[in-house]
Structure 1
Amino acid sequence: MAQRAEGNFHLFSLSQVPTFVLLTPETILRNYAGRTGVLSCSCYTVLPLVLSASPWFILLCLLVGAGYAALLYSAKAPWSRAVNYALAFVRFAVVSFLCFLLLSPFIKTTTNTTEAPTLVLAVDNSQSVGLFTPAPVLRQATQGLTQLAQTLRGRGFRVETRVLDQVRPTRPDSVQFRAASSDLDGLLTNVREQYEGRNLAGVVFASDGLVNQGRAPQFADYNFPIYSLGLGDTIAKKDLSLPILTYNRVAFSGNQFPVEAEVAYDGFAGGTATVVLRENGRTLQTKRVSLPAGQRRTKTTFLVTAPAPGKRRYEVVVARQAGEFTPVNNNKFAYVEVVKGKLRVLLAGAAPHPDLKALRAAILQNDNFDLTTYLPGINPLKAQDYDVAILHQLPAQAGQGQEVLSLVRTRRLPALYILGSQSDFGTYNAISTGLTVQPRGQQTDDVTPVLNSAFSRFTFEAEALARFATYPPAPVPFGDVRLSGSAEAALYQQVGRLKTQKPLLVFGGTPQQRQATLLTDGSWQWRLQESVEHDDRPEAYDRLIIRTLQLLTQNANKKRLDVYPTQDAFTTQDDITFGAETYNAIFERIYGQQITLTLTDEQQKTRTFTYTNTEDGAPLHLGTLPGGLYRYAARATLGGQPQQDRGEVLVQDQQLEALQSRADHNLLSQLSQRSGQRLYYPAQLDQLAQDIQKANYKPVIYEQEDLKDLINLKWLFFLLLGLMTVEWATRKYSGGV
């Protein structure tokens, strides 16, 4: 059987099972839209009847029906012969069909539909396009793309528009060029994923070719034609800019730290520039910088004395000069956290162990920590003040390290307990860390870490979670593990592929003494594995240890209201989020408390938010904010008493789109050439429309098959019921029973 649709034959082979064609209508709808060969919609359906048994059983069904009718209507009846034959035929048909349904027949429907070719207008709506493309050229491009869309729709194409920030404008001339970064590969990859398996004819890619995030698109593989449309300006403008600031993000109070500024210049070679360092609008230092001929960049360095502890935002500005194209890229910000001094860490172990080396290496990666290592009987315990202690398998079964445990207890030092085969679990359970462990002998489970999604005290990057998944299993005590009080698990145990609710890393203790527990002495394997797989850069493991220590060494929470930003710093593209903890009079966690948060920016403008903290740890979402240093004040009434908390949060303004003004049309040309196309300009949009039509993109016919049991057709039930009702009524009316 063959069905013809627009010059193409589609063959349906039904030789695998017995088939009977009940209905073969051919319905083909053509809409030429004034153009030969453009098919906007075409569909037809074939309804063959297929049996799951041999067709010879149909004869048996007919024999059963005929026998039943003959047996019932062979005797003399009180009605006429014609009525008798009619009733016998009805009974024959009903019984035969009911027997036929026992063969499980089903209907196989084949539906063909035609999809018109789709063209996507992928528009780079980043700020650099709006800033550096001459207004008449940009207007010509957006209006020309709108006209191109209308023209192609009239030729039978489906035209859709996509932009960087995933907002879907209805027309290209309604696009707002406000995206704060340019991830061109992300835009094209998103188009590829959204239109996978569809009739995508090609993409008209309107961009200036500047990339500041994501992969370089010229090295990616796209499976569709790309018609590039060059925007921006390839002529170098007379301009000064600050592309890079180099500085330490953490500085110690009273120490000097450098801020190195790199000045880029076009058209000002041989002259000088004035570079100013400011804080809160106040000028701290000013420098005159020479701009050597034959170069395009130069550097200058400011030495700044770190003030009192807190978050600081410094602004470096290059003074605008006569004839400069734009001043929007003349400033950049440095965000520095000034701390009191290095945090003193005591790393104590019951005995030499590979964990100690891994922990030591992770801690020494951060200049904010001063580390002291102690092993009982090997080196003496230094008599000094410590800010946090790491106790590896202490308390121990053999009683080692009592002087360290006494130091931690009497001075209420925050502590990270690492449990292992030498740990004394009875003594540990009496410390009240918020976790109790009742092991079953020496049995262990081999586990890997998995995130507790409800934990919000610090965040894990997606890359870190991916690295966690590749860690080798580490041993943990097998037995009864329970959380108590306000303790919270940051990581759970995963056994093989099974994610359990057993804690692996726990934060607990009391508000006066914060404590954490890691239930494995095999984490050294994680750092070693990560170093091997990632070129000696075990960043996920190191960040886990550092953030654990940072959380433990925050100011002891003697407050009943604790409100905090969930990250050290945000960018202007981030959703700003805050977490909150509330306590009753005996410092037990409570929930459902209404909290009012007030943000004040550097211009003393305030924003007020109100929310209620919940048991699932859901943070308060503030949305995006302009760059700057914000001070916040939180207030709540707990147990009838007013409580408050204060702090600071940094929002970094990256200014990525103002750093480079010269368009990169070479990148656009490479993209198009790799797909067999070329680069166009806004004045050539008519030629682009002609080239797309000459490519002769065709509609694609999709075929869909569906199987449906014949017995499930409701109208057959009512048909059989009607026939039997007619038979019964006729017999009753004619004097039969």
Structure 2
Amino acid sequence: MNNSTILLIILSFVIALLLALFQYVYKAKKVASRNALIALRFVSVFCALLLLINPKFESVTYFEEKPNLVIAIDNSESVAYLNQNEKAKTLFQNLVENKDLQNKFNIETFKFGDDVSTSDSLNFDDNTSNISKFFKNYNELYSKSIAPIILISDGNQTIGNDYQYIASKSKQPIFPIILGDTTTFSDLRISQVNANRYAYLKNKFPVEIIANYSGNQSVSSNLTIRSGNVVLFSKRLEFGPNKTSFIINTNLNASSVGVKTYRVEISPLDNEKNKVNNYKNFAIEVIDQKTNIALIAETIHPDLGAFKKAIESNEQRSVEILKPKEFIASSKDFQLVMLYQPNTAFKAVYDKIISQKLNTFTIAGSTTDFNFLNTNQNNFTQDITNQTENYQPILNVNYGTFIVDNITFENYPPLKSDFGAVSFKIPEETLLYKAVNGFNTEESLLSTLEAEERKHALLNGEGIWRWRAQTYLDTDSFETFDNFIGKLIQYLSSNKKRRRLNLDYKSFYNQTENIIVNAQFFNKNYEFDANANLQITFRNKDTDVSKTLPLLLKNASYSIDLSSIAPGDYVFTVKSNDEPVSASGTFKVLEYNVEQQFLNADVSKLQSIANSSGGKSYFIEKSSSLIDDLLNDKRFATIQKSKRNTIPLIDYKYLLGLIALALSLEWFIRKYKGLI
């Protein structure tokens, strides 16, 4: 409270006292109960003046803050495969229920496998283990607090970045409890098979195989690649203590169209304990042609590289970046022409597009010549203002031309676009709207158009390379953005007629992948129907077992997750229960359980993160001392903290009550004494 406020309070005290004395001493010299009335009048006036001054008081409260203790347990199948699941569950419960730990720490529990979540139940059935994702989430949640980690795991990670590097950023002690032992066995395994997802008919496709050996003796084994019962490749490998791995490269023939499944196998040793990791299946989809796309530009821009990378992430597609003159001279058959910021140099390009009836994707920006563009194509016109603006994207959730999922554009940077509206001359559907400072202008940023059996798209903005970069920052992968561009390109490069029921799925999946089937259903006017009743019936060709399940609405599509189905070949049909509309497809699920590839815990990595973080590692059989170590560790002391609050007097509600009480008593006394 400053000096001026104190002076005002003193002045208020004097004024209130003078007013009370004036009322009941000077003005009325003989009043019954005069002292009580003076006191009541003084209190009411003084309190009212205090409320007008509204002085502020500081209050200090003290509290104790216990350190956090994060207990994270591996919920993947490898824990059960190493026969450590019951021991791990018992230890986890003992730690969580320990009263001494509860008194010293705020205990937070998590489980990790495919994802990271609170440990409400443990079943050890996740088919992948992403330890790095747990550490990434941990670093975000507990970066500014004391929070040692108890990590109950075998240390075997099957997806994600190297958790040893991410754990080093936590700056908190890590106490791994190792599920397993250091016993080693002789083991041959296929560690990795690298092959493209697609191959082209009558071509050879490369296959790279990494085979590893653990053991102390010299051994030999045959490595084979089979397609059904036919051996396509065979090689004898000699392993030993000084030669523990081989990288084998070969080329196989793509002789027929379709999904082809292959099995890489290395013959097991006589005394080998784990034979699950001696083979690995992979598949190739053989296609008879590649989608060729021309990306025409007069200038160099980062957008060109972003488009090329995103489109060619699907091996079915090839992009050539050409100057307008190079495109005119080319005799190549293109299924789609992308026009980047067209100007007068594109005159002959448009003539060729019209004569060959090609599909187009126009990308406009700050250097686009809209006078030229408005007169050389009949799909749209742009208002010419010679001014630019930065527009952020807003997704049209009702867009129904193709399925858009797993991307929201919420955090994406703006694109530079001409200020002015676009008028479309042919039927269009807006995929992205322009927004300024979060306000939707309802003008098109990205639209698709169809007319005369040709397809077109207009992206009215430059700088899309920033979107691809933002995707990587958000997800540590370009996949989400690349899939979005891939679906747009797939739609534009195809001349198939529009159907009321469209499906989106892969031709084959690995067993560890999410097996998602998406569908879009349109009414007779080709408007997306959000009230459709769709179901899928799928059948395993090998077992002839079929099942029918409903599809659930998600954003602007219907989807179902079939990740729990067994490996095999499947045929499926999606149909509407209300109308005679259906669509069918086939896919293959490849057998591969990555969590059964390990014989031992990764002891060295778990011990490394413990030592580097100032923690300590324990084998589960010898983890009884962990609780005492945590309780006696002086780094994890309870901290007394204070909180200082500045509270204005007007927040004290009882002061109003005191004023009301003083005025009421004064009125009753005056009334009782006959002064009113």
TM-score, normalised to structure 1, is 0.74
Residue 75 (structure 1) shift? 6.6
CA distance in 2: counterparts of 1:293 and 1:169, whole angstroms: 43
Does the residue aligned with 1:128 lie in a helix, a strand or coil?
A: helix
Tell me the residue number matched to 1:210.
156
- In structure 2, relative to structure 1, the CA distance for the partners of 1:684 and 1:70 (3 Å cut) is same
CA distance in 2: counterparts of 1:232 and 1:453, whole angstroms: 51
Residue 541 (structure 1) shift? 9.4
- In structure 2, relative to structure 1, the CA distance for the partners of 1:652 and 1:73 (3 Å cut) is farther
Tell me the residue number matched to 1:182.
129
Residue 237 (structure 1) shift? 2.2
CA distance in 2: counterparts of 1:228 and 1:513, whole angstroms: 61
Structure 2 counterpart of 1:512, from 449, 453, 456: 453
Q: Which runs of 5+ in 2 are unaligned?
A: none
Report if aligned partners of 2:66, 2:104 keep a CA contact under 8 Å in 1.
Answer: yes
CA distance in 2: counterparts of 1:513 and 1:498, whole angstroms: 33
Q: Deviations over 1:170-212 (max 9, x none)?
A: 6xxx743333333333323433433344443x22223333334
1:277 pairs with 2:222: no
Tell me the residue number matched to 2:174.
226
- In structure 2, relative to structure 1, the CA distance for the partners of 1:372 and 1:303 (3 Å cut) is closer
Tell me the residue number matched to 2:12.
61
Structure 2 counterpart of 1:333, from 275, 281, 286: 281
Deviates more, 1:646-655 or 1:98-107: 646-655
Q: Deviations over 1:219-253 (max 9, x none)?
A: 62222222232222333223333221121211123
Kindly report the root-mean-square deviation, in angstroms, between the aligned alpha carbons of the 2 structures.
4.6
Matches for 1:21-32 after TM superposition, within 5 Å: none
CA distance in 1: counterparts of 2:103 and 2:481, whole angstroms: 58
Q: Percent identity?
A: 20
Tell me the residue number matched to 2:81.
131
Tell me the residue number matched to 1:479.
420
Query: Which residue identity is paired with 1:67?
Result: L
Q: Deviations over 1:517-561 (max 9, x none)?
A: 3446x679989999xx9xxx9999988776543332245134232
Q: Deviations over 1:311-333 (max 9, x none)?
A: 45444455666433233333433
Tell me the residue number matched to 1:49.
none
Report if aligned partners of 1:576, 1:625 keep a CA contact under 8 Å in 2.
Answer: no
Matches for 1:442-457 after TM superposition, within 5 Å: 443-445=386-388, 447=390, 450=393, 452=395, 454=397, 457=402
Query: Which residue identity is paired with 2:76?
Result: S
CA distance in 2: counterparts of 1:74 and 1:207, whole angstroms: 85
Task: Identify, as 1 or 2, the structure richer in helix.
Answer: 2
Tell me the residue number matched to 2:518.
578
Residue 485 (structure 1) shift? 7.2
1:296 pairs with 2:234: no
Query: Which residue identity is paired with 1:214?
Result: N
Tell me the residue number matched to 1:440.
384
CA distance in 2: counterparts of 1:392 and 1:192, whole angstroms: 42
Deviates more, 1:264-273 or 1:95-104: 264-273
Report if aligned partners of 1:598, 1:632 keep a CA contact under 8 Å in 2.
Answer: yes
Does the residue aligned with 2:599 lie in a helix, a strand or coil?
A: coil
Structure 2 counterpart of 1:247, from 195, 200, 205: 195
Report if aligned partners of 2:192, 2:210 keep a CA contact under 8 Å in 1.
Answer: yes
Tell me the residue number matched to 2:362.
417
Residue 385 (structure 1) shift? 5.5
1:167 pairs with 2:136: no
Report if aligned partners of 2:43, 2:659 keep a CA contact under 8 Å in 1.
Answer: no
Residue 494 (structure 1) shift? 7.6
Report if aligned partners of 1:253, 1:306 keep a CA contact under 8 Å in 2.
Answer: yes
1:729 pairs with 2:674: no
Q: Deviations over 1:331-350 (max 9, x none)?
A: 4332323222123445667x
CA distance in 2: counterparts of 1:119 and 1:480, whole angstroms: 57
CA distance in 1: counterparts of 2:208 and 2:154, whole angstroms: 30
- In structure 2, relative to structure 1, the CA distance for the partners of 1:668 and 1:727 (3 Å cut) is same
1:342 pairs with 2:290: yes
Tell me the residue number matched to 1:564.
504
CA distance in 2: counterparts of 1:709 and 1:342, whole angstroms: 74
Report if aligned partners of 2:551, 2:560 keep a CA contact under 8 Å in 1.
Answer: no
Tell me the residue number matched to 2:51.
101
CA distance in 2: counterparts of 1:65 and 1:276, whole angstroms: 101
Report if aligned partners of 2:223, 2:237 keep a CA contact under 8 Å in 1.
Answer: no
Does the residue aligned with 1:332 lie in a helix, a strand or coil?
A: strand
Does the residue aligned with 1:167 lie in a helix, a strand or coil?
A: strand
CA distance in 2: counterparts of 1:286 and 1:239, whole angstroms: 25
CA distance in 1: counterparts of 2:282 and 2:250, whole angstroms: 12
Greater radius of gyration (CA): 1
CA distance in 1: counterparts of 2:612 and 2:256, whole angstroms: 56
- In structure 2, relative to structure 1, the CA distance for the partners of 1:392 and 1:233 (3 Å cut) is same
CA distance in 2: counterparts of 1:353 and 1:76, whole angstroms: 94
Residue 689 (structure 1) shift? 2.5
Report if aligned partners of 2:180, 2:601 keep a CA contact under 8 Å in 1.
Answer: yes
Residue 96 (structure 1) shift? 1.8
Tell me the residue number matched to 1:31.
none
Query: Which residue identity is paired with 1:665?
Result: V
- In structure 2, relative to structure 1, the CA distance for the partners of 1:381 and 1:366 (3 Å cut) is farther
Tell me the residue number matched to 1:119.
69
Does the residue aligned with 1:686 lie in a helix, a strand or coil?
A: coil
Residue 101 (structure 1) shift? 1.9
Report if aligned partners of 2:350, 2:376 keep a CA contact under 8 Å in 1.
Answer: no
CA distance in 2: counterparts of 1:210 and 1:683, whole angstroms: 19
Tell me the residue number matched to 1:642.
580
Tell me the residue number matched to 1:22.
none
Tell me the residue number matched to 1:656.
594
1:387 pairs with 2:335: yes
1:713 pairs with 2:643: no
- In structure 2, relative to structure 1, the CA distance for the partners of 1:687 and 1:307 (3 Å cut) is same
Query: Which residue identity is paired with 2:627?
Result: A
Report if aligned partners of 2:210, 2:247 keep a CA contact under 8 Å in 1.
Answer: yes
Query: Which residue identity is paired with 1:127?
Result: E
Tell me the residue number matched to 2:628.
690
- In structure 2, relative to structure 1, the CA distance for the partners of 1:727 and 1:381 (3 Å cut) is same
Deviates more, 1:57-66 or 1:599-608: 599-608
CA distance in 2: counterparts of 1:685 and 1:384, whole angstroms: 68
Q: Which runs of 5+ in 1 are unaligned?
A: 1-15, 19-52
Query: Which residue identity is paired with 1:270?
Result: V
Query: Which residue identity is paired with 1:445?
Result: T
Report if aligned partners of 2:426, 2:451 keep a CA contact under 8 Å in 1.
Answer: no
Matches for 1:312-323 after TM superposition, within 5 Å: 312-318=260-266, 322-323=270-271
CA distance in 2: counterparts of 1:501 and 1:650, whole angstroms: 42
Does the residue aligned with 1:632 lie in a helix, a strand or coil?
A: strand
Deviates more, 1:114-123 or 1:353-362: 353-362
Residue 123 (structure 1) shift? 2.4
- In structure 2, relative to structure 1, the CA distance for the partners of 1:395 and 1:335 (3 Å cut) is farther
Does the residue aligned with 2:668 lie in a helix, a strand or coil?
A: helix
Q: Deviations over 1:423-475 (max 9, x none)?
A: 644445624xxxx332316x152658857374694769989999x75x9x76x
- In structure 2, relative to structure 1, the CA distance for the partners of 1:649 and 1:157 (3 Å cut) is same
CA distance in 2: counterparts of 1:526 and 1:719, whole angstroms: 63
Q: Deviations over 1:96-146 (max 9, x none)?
A: 2212222102343322111233322232333333323x55xx645553454
Tell me the residue number matched to 1:21.
none
CA distance in 2: counterparts of 1:733 and 1:404, whole angstroms: 106
Tell me the residue number matched to 1:702.
641
CA distance in 1: counterparts of 2:302 and 2:48, whole angstroms: 80
CA distance in 1: counterparts of 2:181 and 2:7, whole angstroms: 79
